[in-house]
Structure 1
Amino acid sequence: MRISYKTSEFQTALSQSEQASSIRFWVQFTGLRSILSAQRDNTMASLATAEVCDSNASVLASGDLRVLHPVFQIYGQNRTFSGPIVTLKVFEDNVLVRELLETRGEGRVLVIDGGGSLRCALVGGNMGQLAQNMGWAGIVVNGCIRDVDEINECSIGVRALASHPLKSSKKGVGEKHVPLHIAGTLIRDGEWLYADSDGILISKNELSV
């Protein structure tokens, strides 16, 4: 009976171990699938911003295509990225930033209006890795980031005003999916963002490659 009990106990432990391994594999697989999907979609949607401006003067004049003022620094491995926009308005508080990045990115771009604050960072290395794992194409921060070396190792595109070593508060105050006014430009949830080394464009609709 003792041998049978130990064998059963071992089998139970083995079963639990197998379940844990399966869960870890599924999490890793899901994250990898999101990354590959985002990279595939991002490659398909990538456009040279200068060429877009040259060939779309009338759309620029109408306001359906807009150019952000050149105030952002370039971070992350992907200097070129694009995708549908998810907007977030916060001030020196990054709880909602993490909440959104914990959802599946599906090639979208998180645009954060941090009020232009230069007193703390809204995004750090852990969030950069999270964004990569969850399949976000990029993050644009009207504010600061930190852990620059870590973010520069992430396969996403990141834009921010500057870097700052101080972390933000954790109150959970802010607004999701609201219109933002950043860098002289109105940005709406669901519009499209295109970024490369020349700058950042906001388009009412998805642009053709």
Structure 2
Amino acid sequence: MEPSYRYSLACSSSELTPLAQARLFEQLKSALVWEQESLLMFGRDVLVPRRVAFIADRGLCYRYTGKDHYGKGWPNCLAEIRKQAEYLAGQSFNSVLLNWYQNGDDYMGWHADNETILGPAPVIAMLSLGATRDFLFRLKKNHSVKHSIALEGGSWLVMSASTQVLWQHCLPKRKRVQEERISLTFRTLLNP
């Protein structure tokens, strides 16, 4: 059983040339407020192995892992990328969660984006910038069924509605990767 996703290695948009990708990467690093969050695990605070930033329509709140993230509006540098995400996914988005991985030691563990505010079967469009990293899927009902995609800088991954219902995904550690990566995961938050 293949995961339900649509994948494109390259965008048709001329805004995502290698030079434009590098510019956007640097803009995002310097213009956004990045946080290194901590989670309570086994009675102690543990730093999350990546930095995160949240952008959304003003007034929206996205709560995950016990933390509230508030939308304050969209920076100009994301206007065209948001349009591209909406075009590729065939729907509108009102938020984007960004993850900044410093190198291959930074990672994201197995999970599904299944918070109630995303609805029962959310569509998520992800743009990868920077280093090529493996992105893994595993079937929720049978963890031995796995698939891997090498996400290159400038690539888009659109996870269709059934993906979060049936599959988990992760970005594993890769010791050999020394370059940075930023992922932009566009999503629609429902009204609470």
How would you bin the TM-score normalised by the shorter chain?
Answer: under 0.3
Higher helix share: 1
TM (norm. structure 2) is 0.26
Higher strand share: 2
Which structure is larger by alpha-carbon Rg, 1 or 2? 1
TM (norm. structure 1) is 0.25
